[in-house]
Amino acid sequence: MGVLKRYGTYLPISEKTPKVNLEEGSTPLVRLDRIGDELGIELWAKLEGCNPSGSFKDRGMVLAVAKALEDGAKALVCASTGNTSASAAAYAAHVGVPCYVLLPSGKVALGKLAQALIYGARVIAVDGNFDRALELARQASEAKGLAMVNSVNPYRIISQKTGAWEICESLGRAPDLHVIPVGNAGNISAYWAGYKDFKSRGGIKDLPKMIGIQAEGAAPLATGKPCPNPETIATAIRIGNPVSAKTAISAVAESGGLFDTVTDDEILKAQKNLASRAGVFAEPASCATLAGLVKLAQAKKLPQGAKAVIVLTGNGLKDPDTAIAQAETPVKIGDTFEELLEALS
């Protein structure tokens, strides 16, 4: 029914707020027994790739765009590693306002670029990384009066809390471990705030440990060191200077959780594992979560029997190049039944 309708009571909206709705949210929470059994845990995956633009960004974008319209905004701007731009472009098209998106040139997965273009955003490829594109987008927002819809926009984070509320409603409690990929660090901050809200409303007794996973080549929070030149195959989280670093660090500390890193190889292995052994195709950044759990299990640091939720933040179809590069090639045959029989053997 859309996030604003399902959770309107708990969100800062009024009669004057436009009822923007692309039926985002209410995504599946799926139990992954084959992989979970192997790790010795009860494993659940929140399929955020099932949102209308294929990522979790829609949960926050719907409120950010509704409030921008309420405040009289005439156009939107964002910087993005791909998913924020796809989401902003989709909502801008839906409500009929222009949208400018700044992308790190050559570092955005194909599907995400296709989305921003086909939704009709003005796409600007910046010769710099995401962190630089974000600085430029902020300047443009101030100079031109454009509504900024990155997660520096507080409505994004507020509305992304709905993901935590849905998990608590589905499980009837919070998980023991909440495992989430960390880039600009907005989503981990939003989920933690969401769990705390749900507890203060009396909906759950205990809070989860927050486990934030970063790619080894883009891990300023996990290493505690700045990362001026982030690099990873998981382009969604190729970020060296997270805007929400402070709130993310306190989320992990307050919850008794941890940050950890995984290599690109571990991410790709986890992607294949999720697709071929659970039937779930998520983009590389999302798969960092499972890679993180596998790493903890190997180090004997994964509490056996724990209930863990991994947030699969984006759909695998967004980055077909990465999937095809590591997959087997199709078996080629002519057009005879004999050849087919041979191929089947």
Interacting residues toward ligand F0G by CB under 6 A: 55, 57, 80-84, 151, 181-187, 236-237, 283, 285-286, 313-314
Q: Kindly state the smallest distance separating residue 222's Cβ from ligand F0G, in Å.
A: 12
> Element (H or E) spanning 233, and its range?
none
Q: Tell me which residue of 60, 27, 314, 51 sits closest to 186, measured CA to CA.
A: 60
Q: Which is nearer to ligand F0G, 114 or 340 (CB)?
A: 114
Q: Which is nearer to ligand F0G, 227 or 344 (CB)?
A: 227
Q: Kindly state the smallest distance separating residue 157's Cβ from ligand F0G, in Å.
A: 9
Q: Kindly state the smallest distance separating residue 148's Cβ from ligand F0G, in Å.
A: 13
C-alpha 42/C-alpha 278 separation (Å) is 14
Q: Kindly state the smallest distance separating residue 173's Cβ from ligand F0G, in Å.
A: 24
Give the DSSP letter string of 86-125: HHHHHHHHHHT--EEEEEETT-S-HHHHHHHHHTT-EEEE
Q: What is the separation of C-alpha 19 from the centre of its chain, rounded to a whole number of angstroms?
A: 24
Q: Which is nearer to ligand F0G, 138 or 173 (CB)?
A: 138
Q: Tell the burial category of 275 from Cβ atoms under 10 Å away from its Cβ (0-12, 13-18, 19+).
A: middle
Own/partner pairs, 8-13, CB within 8 angstroms, 24+ separation: 10/165, 10/197, 11/63, 11/158, 11/159, 12/63, 12/67, 12/155, 12/158, 13/63, 13/66, 13/67
Q: Kindly state the smallest distance separating residue 79's Cβ from ligand F0G, in Å.
A: 7
Q: Which is nearer to ligand F0G, 20 or 185 (CB)?
A: 185
Q: Tell me which residue of 70, 51, 34 sits closest to 315, measured CA to CA.
A: 51
C-alpha 211/C-alpha 215 separation (Å) is 13
Q: Which is nearer to ligand F0G, 80 or 162 (CB)?
A: 80
The first and second tokens of residue 198, run together, are 């749900």
Amino acid at 192: W
Q: Kindly state the smallest distance separating residue 51's Cβ from ligand F0G, in Å.
A: 11
Q: Which is nearer to ligand F0G, 141 or 286 (CB)?
A: 286
Q: Which is nearer to ligand F0G, 175 or 183 (CB)?
A: 183
Q: Kindly state the smallest distance separating residue 178's Cβ from ligand F0G, in Å.
A: 13
Contacts for 269 with CB less than 8 Å, ≥ 6 apart: 291, 294
Q: Kindly state the smallest distance separating residue 159's Cβ from ligand F0G, in Å.
A: 13
Contacts for 310 with CB less than 8 Å, ≥ 6 apart: 43, 44, 45, 46, 179, 180, 286, 289, 290, 293
Q: Which is nearer to ligand F0G, 140 or 333 (CB)?
A: 140
